[in-house]
Structure 1
Amino acid sequence: MAGEALPGVSLTSAPRGAGAEPLRTDVAAFLGRFRRGPVGVPVRVDSWNDVVAAFGPPPDGDPGRDGVAPATPYALRGFFENGGRTAWVLRVSGPAATARARWTAGPGGGFPAARHEVVAASPGTWANGGRVTVRYQASTVAGPPTLSVRVTVPGEPPEIFPGLPLPELADRLAASRYVRFLPDGPPPPAGSPGPISRSWDMALAGGTDAPPTRAAYEDAVTAQADLSEPALVALPDLGTDLAGDTHAEVVRHLLRTVAPLHDRLAVLDVPPALRSADDAVAWAGTLTASGDAPLLGCAAVYHPGLRVPGRTGPRTVPASGHVLGVIARLDAERGAHHTPANAVILEAVDLAAELPGPQQARLFDAGIDLVRCTRGRGLVVWGGRTLSPDPRHRHIAHRRLTHLLVRAIRRTAGPLVFDVNSPELRLTLVRAITSVLLSAFRAGALAGARPEQAFRVVCDDSNNPPGQDPGQLVCEIEFAPAAPVEFIRLRLVLGQDRGLEVIEA
């Protein structure tokens, strides 16, 4: 399990901007609830400690039992524990209030404002009961007056900002994880020098939480679509926050947003309120009723949820975060074209529900991939299919291979935009795309014994006739992905003269 933040020396670095490595297919986007942190603003994290720093420690409540505590922090922890390396996080929240307090400095002392509003860095109840202590030290031979600020928040390590110059108070405290100081009014009137030191103690109050709305989730879906890095998307709290038609509409909005990008996969969870296999199958049916194969090929569902370690005992979380970690791990070990299945899940102790064999078969037939507990191996991902009934869009390995190729081709073809439409440009484009496909063929991602059997790239007069708009260039690409082996059939032949013979059918 990843370690909690501990006292001592720590190193931090500025986060990289969006689109740092758009070719990676192991980067995930998590949309859900958190204890604290910016709302609706994408934050890039490269470790569990980064998550705790930006969004606080995971809650003590059990989302599997009370349906209130956020599940997304535990899903993110499962992602990193299972091999995930990078994620983008968007906190989703309803119209919550921010905790705050008033600080009146009084006359004299050289303060930048007579009053300040001390405001929590983000909305929510997390800051209620937090204490902010400000200590003023008058000027001495060593220099001008300074302020020292100590911030303590329940359940979080304290922050201390010593020796802050008075004019830089608000700017320097912008680095705090917990609070902001906002000047309120003009500087205080001049007065007598007063004591050498003074101190103030304030309590933050008034913060409230609000459950995320459909609009909040849809805004987060739109925000993640603007990021070039994520190739995987999860919404671990969606099934708890929204139900029925509202939940289904957000999922459809997600798929309609993701589908035109051709570069990412959404991993969904069966809503936790649906406890029986019949309910899960019916829920999947509402999503697949449209029959839109390309749209359904953008999503995979994994079930059941997992029991994971917690400070107060095991708790139930959706499986999506752990599964994304497994996908990221296999991506680094084998490549995006390998099926993310038959792999061990780490940082989980049990399944949230035991499903008999017939129920597992029904879920599989409905397009729901399974998480299973196997003898000798523990918890494993068992299944690599999307929700699409079309064989061309059914396998996750095929979809993720397409996502990888789309990303590679965008990077290859992007610099050629605005070049003159000429035979030289067409040849350059064909060579660049062929190089990408050859790499996939050599890695075993494509079918066929020779490259010409595995893919074809056409960019000539057949699809760019002389009368075509000269500002448009068409390049057609066809490729045959290698089919994953899902079933192995063995025949047993028993004969009096031959004994028992096993034949692979």
Structure 2
Amino acid sequence: MANYKRPGIFVDETLNPIITNEIPSGEFVAAFVGEHDYGPAAPTLIRNWADFISLFGGFGDGTHLLPFAVHQFFANGGRSCYIVRAVAADATAAEAVLKDRQSGEGVNPKEVLRLKVKAPGAFGNGIEVSVTDAGTGAGRFNLTFKIGGDTATGPQERFNDVSCDPTDVRNVVAMVNSPDTGSKFVEATYLGGTPWKGDKTPSVTVGQLLAGGADGTVQPDLSAAAELLEETNEVLNVNLPGISDAAIINPVIDWAERYGYAFLVVDTPELPDATPTETAVSKLKEMSPLSNTGTTPVPLRASSYAALYGPWVLTADAAVAAVGATRLLPPGGALMGQFAKFDVEYGPHRTPAGQEAALRSVYSTQFRFADSQLDELNQAGINVIRRVPNAGFCVMGGRTVKAGYPDRYVAVRRFLIHVRKLLVESTSYAVFQPNTPDLWASLAAIVTQRLTELTQAGQLKGNSPETAFRVVCDESNNTQQTVANGEVHIDVGIALTRPAEFIGIHIGQFEGGGTATESL
């Protein structure tokens, strides 16, 4: 408060900062959901393959497809992704209980600190805990977790000079359980009760293994695991590596539509190598609701929030050291890397397909189809990976599993998801603002600004804002009744671009008054 010393009128000035909203880049974040024998079960963001090794143990025993999909993702230009490790309902988490330092005749040490692995699984039985004296005062100690037991390459987590004292600034429970700087694997619970005393400190121990972790016997619920991604509040490309069962995929499609910010990349099934190509075409078409209108087998649900990709691809086997080793893998991991690359280089309005989407480290595909078979598969909404001369193995399709324009195209649906996120985040400041014409004008202005930016970036059809979009937020769609209901309505129309799916070249010859033509 100012200190006024003489009579008069005093004026000061306070300027509120202009509301700005960070513009989403348009890059979808990849997300992989699957089974694995190691690592966290909650959605976990990683930024490179080294992160996956540290948190999820790399390829493990090589029986699960999740790590191979993640490796292919980063090999094909991916930059970051969420991992959701699905676990069985009857899986249990390993734990250890440390006892305190009370001693003396007739005194039994009591439990003081429980350490429990955050995620269920037998991998937790390989985590070692050590307690040593910090040497900085009574009741202070160092706590170390060694992940992977006595292996030299396993990561370690150290919490030095900590205390069980709830009032201590270096309280061990707070530090271990911190979401930012705490343990990635273990959570702590204090069992010593109150009041705290110096002898309520864990006894010195070296290399004590956690125990009781089990993988369980029930099949993990992959659909429920995928829905955990909603807590990220990110715009997502989602893949369940190698999963083509409609009973699993259809609930995920339902969730993607409800969530509104997820697009599902679906792998077609792996088939025996001796399968004739005609049979392979039939099996792939059975997945698509555009070609299978029956119920045996059940196809995917018709939706523009999902797209089918196949066949499987032959790649270098990164899990073994043998030179020239190969492995047949579902294409989703490599495709998600190409999606990420296209988002960065062009934007979500571009179809991640064609010669620019050549898959890296792919030597062949499980099947090679004739032109007539490619016609069938494309009409069924199956995006086929095939060899393109002078380019490599590329995905040559950009359709969703929904018939009809405009959102039968992957690029259209993903762009609409991006626009939805962009406008929601740009207008979120308006909630609980006075519902007046000033607010309507403000909302119309900021939506117009965002759509103008998309137009200037070439992501909307039209050379000017007047031809690319329209925005209405005024008394025509905000009546006295809607205002009384606490509602604000913004009507937005956008001119969408569509991919050039078919290129027709028409060659004509004129010779001696005769004309011959040929269409390619």
TM range (shorter): 0.7 to 0.9
Matched with 1:479 is 494
Matched with 2:357 is 344
Matched with 1:306 is 313
Q: Distance in 2 between matches of 1:294 and 1:432?
A: 36
Supply the AA of the counterpart residue of 2:377.
L
Could you report, residue by residue, the CA deviation over 1:223-261 in whole angstroms, capped at 9, with x for unpaired residues? 22343223322221534xxxxxxx424322222222244
Matched with 1:423 is 437
Supply the AA of the counterpart residue of 1:411.
E
Shift of 1:441: 2.0
Q: Using a 3 Å threshold, how does the CA distance of structure 1 residues 111 and 44 change in structure 2: closer, same or farther?
A: farther
Structure 2 stretches lacking a partner, 5+ long: 1-20, 165-170
Supply the AA of the counterpart residue of 1:52.
I
Could you report, residue by residue, the CA deviation over 1:454-503 in whole angstroms, capped at 9, with x for unpaired residues? 22222344433455453222222222212211111112324444899988
The secondary structure found in structure 1 opposite 2:232 is coil
Supply the AA of the counterpart residue of 1:456.
R
Supply the AA of the counterpart residue of 2:49.
W
Q: Distance in 1 between matches of 2:329 and 2:163?
A: 47
Supply the AA of the counterpart residue of 1:321.
G
Aligned length: 463
Shift of 1:296: 0.7
Q: Using a 3 Å threshold, how does the CA distance of structure 1 residues 51 and 483 change in structure 2: closer, same or farther?
A: same
Alignment match of 2:418 (pick from 404, 414, 421): 404
Please give the TM-score of this superposition, normalised by the length of structure 1. 0.77
Matched, 1:281 2:282: no
Q: Distance in 1 between matches of 2:444 and 2:452?
A: 12
Q: Using a 3 Å threshold, how does the CA distance of structure 1 residues 422 and 210 change in structure 2: closer, same or farther?
A: same
Matched, 1:53 2:54: yes
Alignment match of 1:122 (pick from 116, 119, 141): 119
The secondary structure found in structure 1 opposite 2:32 is strand
Q: Where do residues 182-197 of structure 1 align in structure 2 (5 Å cutoff)?
A: none
Q: Using a 3 Å threshold, how does the CA distance of structure 1 residues 287 and 361 change in structure 2: closer, same or farther?
A: closer
Matched with 2:34 is 32
Supply the AA of the counterpart residue of 2:70.
L
Alignment match of 2:251 (pick from 250, 253, 261): 253
The answer to whether the 8 A contact 2:281-2:373 is kept is yes
Matched with 1:234 is 239
The secondary structure found in structure 2 opposite 1:379 is strand
Shift of 1:282: 0.7
Matched with 1:269 is 267
Q: Distance in 2 between matches of 1:283 and 1:417?
A: 43
The answer to whether the 8 A contact 1:304-1:352 is kept is yes
Q: Distance in 2 between matches of 1:181 and 1:472?
A: 46
The answer to whether the 8 A contact 1:405-1:436 is kept is no
The secondary structure found in structure 2 opposite 1:37 is coil
Supply the AA of the counterpart residue of 1:447.
K
The secondary structure found in structure 2 opposite 1:392 is coil
Q: Using a 3 Å threshold, how does the CA distance of structure 1 residues 320 and 158 change in structure 2: closer, same or farther?
A: closer
Could you report, residue by residue, the CA deviation over 1:280-325 in whole angstroms, capped at 9, with x for unpaired residues? 11122389749x9996111111112233331323323322222121
Q: Using a 3 Å threshold, how does the CA distance of structure 1 residues 501 and 231 change in structure 2: closer, same or farther?
A: farther
Alignment match of 1:76 (pick from 53, 60, 70): 70
The answer to whether the 8 A contact 1:288-1:387 is kept is no
- Across the aligned residues of Structure 1 and Structure 2, the Cα RMSD in angstroms comes to 4.2
The answer to whether the 8 A contact 1:112-1:183 is kept is no
Q: Using a 3 Å threshold, how does the CA distance of structure 1 residues 52 and 212 change in structure 2: closer, same or farther?
A: farther
Q: Using a 3 Å threshold, how does the CA distance of structure 1 residues 186 and 453 change in structure 2: closer, same or farther?
A: closer
The answer to whether the 8 A contact 2:129-2:210 is kept is no
The secondary structure found in structure 1 opposite 2:289 is helix
Q: Distance in 2 between matches of 1:81 and 1:449?
A: 37
Q: Distance in 1 between matches of 2:79 and 2:332?
A: 16
The answer to whether the 8 A contact 1:164-1:172 is kept is no
Q: Distance in 2 between matches of 1:138 and 1:108?
A: 20
Q: Distance in 1 between matches of 2:109 and 2:517?
A: 86
The secondary structure found in structure 1 opposite 2:407 is helix
Supply the AA of the counterpart residue of 1:25.
E
Q: Distance in 2 between matches of 1:473 and 1:114?
A: 57
Alignment match of 2:214 (pick from 208, 211, 229): 208
Supply the AA of the counterpart residue of 2:156.
E
The answer to whether the 8 A contact 1:269-1:303 is kept is yes
The secondary structure found in structure 2 opposite 1:393 is coil
The answer to whether the 8 A contact 1:116-1:184 is kept is yes
Q: Distance in 1 between matches of 2:80 and 2:302?
A: 26
The secondary structure found in structure 1 opposite 2:353 is coil
Shift of 1:75: 1.5
Matched with 2:343 is 331
The secondary structure found in structure 2 opposite 1:372 is strand
Q: Distance in 2 between matches of 1:286 and 1:391?
A: 14
Matched with 1:15 is none
Q: Distance in 2 between matches of 1:431 and 1:221?
A: 37
The answer to whether the 8 A contact 1:103-1:202 is kept is no
The answer to whether the 8 A contact 1:225-1:257 is kept is no
Shift of 1:279: 1.1
Q: Distance in 1 between matches of 2:301 and 2:450?
A: 23
Q: Distance in 2 between matches of 1:293 and 1:115?
A: 52
Alignment match of 2:331 (pick from 316, 319, 326): 319
